[in-house]
Amino acid sequence: MSKNKTDKILLSEDQQNFIRENWDKIPLLRLAQETFKNPDINGHYAEAKAIKLFIASFADEKDIAGKLKTSKFVAAGDIELTDDHKVFIRNNCLTMKPLECAKILFGDNSLTPLSREFRAISKYYEIADPTSIPKEDRIAEDVEYKPPTSLARIVPRINKYVMKNFGEGNKFLDPDNLKPQEKKNCQGLLEHMNVKKFIHQCNKYYKADDRELFESSFVNYCYDKPDLLPEEVGSYISVCAEEVTISKIEGIIESMERQLEEIISGTDSEGKRLSVSFVDAIKNQRDQLDKSKKHHKSLMSDLIGSRAKRQENKGAQQATIINLIEAVKSEEKRLELLKIAERQKMLEAEEVDKLSDMDSVVALIAGLSKERAKYG
């Protein structure tokens, strides 16, 4: 059971023979488990990846696609483009998208943006003509999204998506000199972005632009909200996903409107018929866009309202505590004043007694007794 690199896994001759005999008969996962006699192996283990590499070394691509007993298998290693491939790409990169080109060159209409063929051609497109791949069509560098796991990784995202919008250099966060509240905010955002639902949603976007829009929206909304409840984090994830959907629909509408203009410019009856269909399709997209925007607005209203109410309740609780403290302090002060007053009374009484005693002394000095002073 190992998660080490595949180059450290060496297949014995018996293992190689077993794989050759069974690779197209039993599921890949079970093949790996039986080859290494380990029921705990899964698709992420080095042993399973070593088997994929070995199968790719002797089996034909079409045989792998048709016979391998797993729908998730992708032969390991990069696709090497031939000179003919490169010539075709250079001649067509300005008028043909990478996925369309990949399907033609490899004769496989089932290819997707996650396939090795597409990725190889997409990379060469950038070499042949960097402007030929629209930003929104570029695939994410990593197929699997990996969330930030430390302050050193989360701070650059906040600076990139949030702080740059302030337009002031001193607004950028310094990961080595974070204020207590800034550190608390960053720690909260780290926890939010490592929620399974967030990672799962990110992995739905293979286009770099879609994934960046989703991530940047989430960071903008949540970077200063470390106190979010789990259900609120889930709602913000839904809000950001809706923003990606809105962006996609808007892109579709824009593209369809351009095509409609081209169709309308034609005068043939076929063009007029197509224009009616396009108008209906655009209307449907606009209806969908309207629904998506309403859903987004509803989610945001619920989020803002629930958090505001929670903050208000929290503020009321804090105010109550403060008032209680003040009341206690006031009571203590009142009692202290009473004590002081009591002491003052006692002191005054003592002074009166002293004065009384002083009169007696004066009378005695004057040669008067109480009786003489009284009766003469």
Instruction: State the CB neighbour count (10 A cutoff) for residue 263.
Output: 19
245 pLDDT band, cuts 50/70/90, is very high
Q: What is the pLDDT of residue 44?
A: 62
Amino acid symbol at 104? I
Average pLDDT in the chain: 76
Token couple for 265? 């410019």
Judged against a pLDDT cut of 80, whether residue 73 lies above it is answered with no
Q: What is the pLDDT of residue 22?
A: 84
Q: Which of 53, 51, 65, 157 is nearest to 108 (CA)?
A: 65
Q: Which residue has the tokens 């005054």?
A: 348
pLDDT, tens only, 285-335: 899 999 999 999 999 888 888 776 676 656 545 555 555 566 556 666 667
Can you tell me the distance from the alpha carbon of 32 to that of 23, in angstroms, rounded to the nearest whole number? 10
Can you tell me the distance from the alpha carbon of 198 to that of 205, in angstroms, rounded to the nearest whole number? 12
Q: What is the pLDDT of residue 328?
A: 58
